[in-house]
Chain A
Amino acid sequence: AQTVTQSQPEMSVQEAETVTLSCTYDTSESDYYLFWYKQPPSRQMILVIRQEAYKQQNATENRFSVNFQKAAKSFSLKISDSQLGDAAMYFCAFYGNKLVFGAGTILRVKS
């Protein structure tokens, strides 16, 4: 079975600071994809960043980057220079033969 675990129900960060959200997953597959999605209060699901498991290089999208540790089955999201607009629920997701999500982490940004 494929499972995704986000161990931090809530996180807080000061504006302009850096925060890291944790995600671990369990799978027996060797070929898969990992994602971080953002859900603001509007309920819209927004893709933040994606990582192909066969790529060793960590993905980066502007202020968002990941630390992908395949052997440890870890996929953390780092948000640099946090902004008020980053406040949202963040979901880690795994795609092997179907798309599975973690429970989410609420990120609060303090001004």
Chain B
Amino acid sequence: DAGITQSPRHKVTETGTPVTLRCHQTENHRYMYWYRQDPGHGLRLIHYSYGVKDTDKGEVSDGYSVSRSKTEDFLLTLESATSSQTSVYFCAISVDQGPRIAFFGQGTRLTVV
């Protein structure tokens, strides 16, 4: 595996509270991604990063922010969690050259009540 760890693995939080999910890699790759997975929608890109402090929005970025102050860590923050953000969140990294093969974390199941 590509040495990618997500934390926490499970979280239940209340509506309106801030939540931060962490993705940690040991491979020193530039590209990191956050996706959410919902039935019928597959994996939808929230934000991605192509280097320290270099991030860009994906297709479902509203209500989410990210930060990358170190190569190895990519943080996803829900500023004020809503029930529509209940989902499974995946972090991924992709190799910097060639076919850009992506490796995924184990996922975080987030429930907003």
Contact = CB atoms under 8 A, between A and B. Distances in A.
Nearest to A89: B42
A52 B56 CA distance: 24
Interface residues of B, number: 23
Interface string A2-28: 000010010000000000000000000
Given A95-B94, A98-B33, A99-B92, A50 B99 contact: yes
Contact of B90 (A45, A100, A104): A45
Given A43-B88, A45-B90, A50-B99, A99 B45 contact: yes
A95 to B, nearest CB: 5
A102 B42 CA distance: 6
A101 B88 CA distance: 15
Contact of B33 (A44, A50, A52, A99): A99
A64 interface: no
Given A98-B58, A101-B42, A103-B42, A45 B104 contact: yes
Interface in B23-56: 33, 35, 40-45, 48, 56
Interface in B49-108: 56, 58-59, 88, 90, 92, 94, 99-102, 104, 106-107
B102 A35 contact: yes
Nearest to A95: B100
Interface of A: 6, 9, 33, 35, 43-45, 47, 50, 52, 91, 93, 95, 98-104
